[in-house]
Structures are given as C-alpha cells and as structure tokens.
Chains A and B, each alone.
Chain A
C-alpha cells in the first residue's frame, strides 16, 4: 500500500491537469458512515445529491434494493436499511 501511495503522489505532482476527482461532502447525520463505507466501492457519492431531492422513502429504498439485487452490491440487510433511511431523511423529497 505504501508503494502505491508513493507512486500516486508522484503522479499527482507530475500531472496536475489530471485533476478531476470529486469531493462530495454528504450531510452529516446518522447512517452517513454506512453510506460512505458501502456505496463508494462502485461509484462516487455524487450519485446521491445528483438524484435529489425527488425520491421519497419508498423510492430510495427501491434504489438501494436495485443496487443489491440487480447490480450485486455486497451490502447486508442491516446496513441496507440504515442506508435507505439516511437517504430518505437527508436526500428525500
């Protein structure tokens, strides 16, 4: 891991124009840790504010279920519920 970081820092210094990564600061509320721990494995957290604030609780719950059932996200049932609740409360309609 150290080796990877060194290589990356070198790459950053060498190519500042590659700057394209997003910084997404999610609303700090109960459950945000589970969101950050699970959702970023496959995609940026930007998908959350991008798809807001128009989904209701059922809509966010369906979105989380789709990620798990259709798209294979390895999220356990307890975390899935916490994530759906967080999204509905903080990014819901």
Chain B
C-alpha cells in the first residue's frame, strides 16, 4: 500500500469522488462555453484516428485551476487540450495541457523551495531559492511546449504510450532566469558535457526510475534556455511546474523539467531509462539539426527540436459549412527557425494558395494563419502545409518510428457544404 497515492498525494481511492468526477464531466463542457462538433459518448472531443479504446472511457476532466481538458489519464495526470483551446498564439494557463510520467506529485510551497546546483562537472555547489532566481536578470521568451508524443495516437500502426491527439501542446510567454546564469553560480568544468535536471515529482514505487532528463551543455547555455517562474505573467500553475521549470525553446517538452529541484553538470552521459531507451528517434529519419552527440548510438538519438508542423483550429474534419467564403485558421510552429509560409490546398494537393500569417511573437512561438476558401456544395477537402525559414516542410506520409514521435503529416480535413 505504501506510495499508493493519487495526484494530490492522498493515500487511498475514494468512491464518492469518483461519482462526482463522472457526473462533473458533462457539466464541465457547459462551463467551458465551447461546443465540440465531434465528441465520443462521454463528451470528449477526441481526434479522429486515435485508438478505439480511448473513446471507451475518455471524458473531459477538470484539474484544480484548469478548464476542462481531455482526460486521458488521471494518475499520473495526462490531459490534452481540445483544438478550440489553441486558437490564440498564447495558450491561457487554465487551458494548457498537462503531462506527467509518474504519479507522486507533491504540492510545493514557494517558501523554502530550493534548487540544488552542482554535479561532477561543476566547480562548486549552490542552493538557489525562488528569490535568488528572481534577482537574476529576467528573460522572457514566447515558446511552444509540445509533448514529444503529441499525435502519437495517430500513428499507423498504433504504438504504445499515452495516445495523444492534437492537443498535447500549448504556447506561453515564459519568464525566468537564464540557465546559464544559474550555472555560472557554480561554474562549469571544461569536461562538463551534459546538464541534468530532476523535478520534485517521482515514482510511487521505489524501483521505478525517477524522471530525470539531461541536455547538452551547448543547449543549456543558450541564451533562450531559462529556469522559468512565470507563465503568461503569473506564477506557473501547479500542473505546469510550480515553482519553477526548465524552458528549452525549440525542443520537445520532455526536457522542460517541472518542479525542478536539482540541476547538475555531468562529465559522463546521463544513462537512466528516461534518456535511453525512452525518448529516442531512429538516426537519419528526421530532418533535425540539433544533435545531442554524447547520447547518440549507432541506431538512435534523443529527440531534440520539434519538426515544422501546423494545425487547423477553426474546424474539425466533417464540419458543416455554408457554400461560399469560409474562413479557416490555425497555428504553425517549428523548432525555432520561424515559419516562412503556410499553404492551403483545396484540390487534394494539386495547387496551393498562401495563407495570411498573423502576429509574430518570435521564432519559438505559435504563428497564427488564416485562409479564405470558396466552399462548393458537397465535400471540400482542405490540406495545410507549413514551411519554416530553413525551407523544411511537413510530410505527406507518416515517418513511422516505434514511439510515435515527430508526427507532422499534413492535415487533410473535409468540410461539408
């Protein structure tokens, strides 16, 4: 029974709360003020193509401080955003997705919170409080946080894991101290190769490897890599990493350690389960540029920067529209080079028109786009393809990999007029 805890660290399971949870799912939808055009029997707007089993149980679920999100699992908490929550380039904190690997998640108070900084690759040790962080030069960066496994549920064939649809992502304005400034408190030895992070959350049984992640020193000392204590102008929500988390702009969310309590410099590669075999992509399959050389093997390498991608947020597949002008819109993003163009095709990819790009909040941010199409009576297919400033575009066929990462297949939806 030891360590059998729910996400508030309480030790039991209680039936009454379950009943309230079930009854609350329908009501929660009304509260959100959104109408979902596609929903399973329980009211969750799941992405078409996720495993059938997801629809058998998934409901909307409301975590403290959050609007209803699609509850894929409550323990550990894995909640994704319906696409309607991704219609603005900044995702509001209460609509931001939640992802944890391990179920023992303590509530941390700002008072007494410290980050232990050191490691065999550092010259010394230090303890950094929240006040210490706030006294360092403050940096703000607008950046997409996307789970490595976003869209895993759409993999063909399906692969094991949390079966996310489109919504394991969001974009926020993060404020904090540069990780480089934190590391300067202890000084790095020239032998240091990786910086490793641990968060306060952990496993419910002792033998489960704690969730610990490292990044190469070159990325750690990048001017955009920060230890954030604010998200969109307010302290981080508990479920997004309070009191402080690591922000690694351009890279997938796995490295963005929440509730960070330890930052260590290493002279040898970090070798725990969450670095290898987890979070690996096959060598040579994806057009990624950021290498994590100390972790590479002949067969695979850690996932690093996000691939260029886009999402239609104004409509879902199968939506009814009126014939004539229909405004469609969505978001595009990449691993930090910035979006150059978003193109839309209404003839199955034979010809393409350019979407209008919206507000530019920086190269790591979501970039809004919009496009007016002329809907004809009947079925109208709409395809979208984003291209970044390197000239990289989305793919038309899935690049299959065993963990279902980097799914940037162009969406193709049908609107019915």
Contact = CB atoms under 8 A, between A and B. Distances in A.
A38 to B, nearest CB: 11
Interface string A1-33: 100110011011001111111111000000000
Contacts of A41: 3-4, 204-205
B17 interface: yes
A49 B53 contact: yes
Given A71-B208, A72-B203, A51 B163 contact: yes
Contacts of A9: 14, 16
A63 B277 CA distance: 14
B53 A43 contact: no
B54 interface: yes
Q: Which of A21, A44, A74, A91 has the most CB of B within 10 A?
A: A21
Interface size class on chain A is 35 or more
Interface secondary structure of A, over-half rule: loop
Contact of A44 (B56, B75, B207, B209): B75
Nearest to A18: B64
A47 to B, nearest CB: 6
B103 A12 contact: no
B103 A52 contact: no
A49 B52 CA distance: 8
Interface size class on chain B is 35 or more
B133 to A, nearest CB: 30
Contact of B20 (A4, A12, A73): A12
A42 B53 contact: no
A58 interface: no
Interface in A42-90: 42-44, 46-55, 59, 63, 70-74
A74 B207 CA distance: 8
Given A24-B57, A44-B74, A46-B74, A19 B209 contact: no
B240 to A, nearest CB: 16
B212 to A, nearest CB: 14
Contacts of A43: 73, 75-76, 103
A23 B18 contact: yes
A17 B23 CA distance: 11
Contact of A70 (B20, B52, B53, B273): B273
Given A16-B20, A17-B62, A46-B74, A72 B208 contact: yes
Contacts, number: 137
A8 B14 contact: yes
A20 B64 CA distance: 9
Interface string B68-81: 00011111110000
Interface string B380-414: 00000000000000000000000000000000000
Contacts of A23: 18, 21-22
A55 B160 contact: yes
Contact of B51 (A16, A54, A72): A54
B3 to A, nearest CB: 7
Contacts of A91: 53
Q: Which of B3, B56, B64 has the most CB of A within 10 A?
A: B56
Nearest to A51: B160
Contacts of A20: 7, 21, 61-63, 71, 74, 77
Contact of B57 (A16, A22, A54): A22
A84 B53 CA distance: 17
A56 to B, nearest CB: 11
Contacts of A63: 160
B206 interface: yes
A48 B53 CA distance: 8
Interface in B205-246: 205-209
A22 B13 CA distance: 10
Interface of B: 3-4, 6-7, 10-14, 16-18, 20-24, 51-54, 56-59, 61-64, 71-77, 102-103, 157-158, 160-163, 203-209, 273, 277
Interface of A: 1, 4-5, 8-9, 11-12, 15-24, 40-44, 46-55, 59, 63, 70-74, 91
30 contacts: A1-B12, A4-B12, A9-B16, A11-B10, A17-B64, A18-B64, A19-B23, A19-B61, A20-B21, A20-B62, A21-B6, A21-B14, A21-B17, A22-B74, A41-B3, A41-B4, A43-B103, A46-B57, A46-B58, A46-B72, A46-B73, A47-B73, A49-B56, A51-B160, A54-B157, A63-B160, A71-B207, A71-B273, A72-B206, A74-B205
Given A41-B4, A43-B75, A44-B74, 6 more contacts: A15-B64, A19-B23, A21-B17, A21-B74, A46-B57, A71-B207
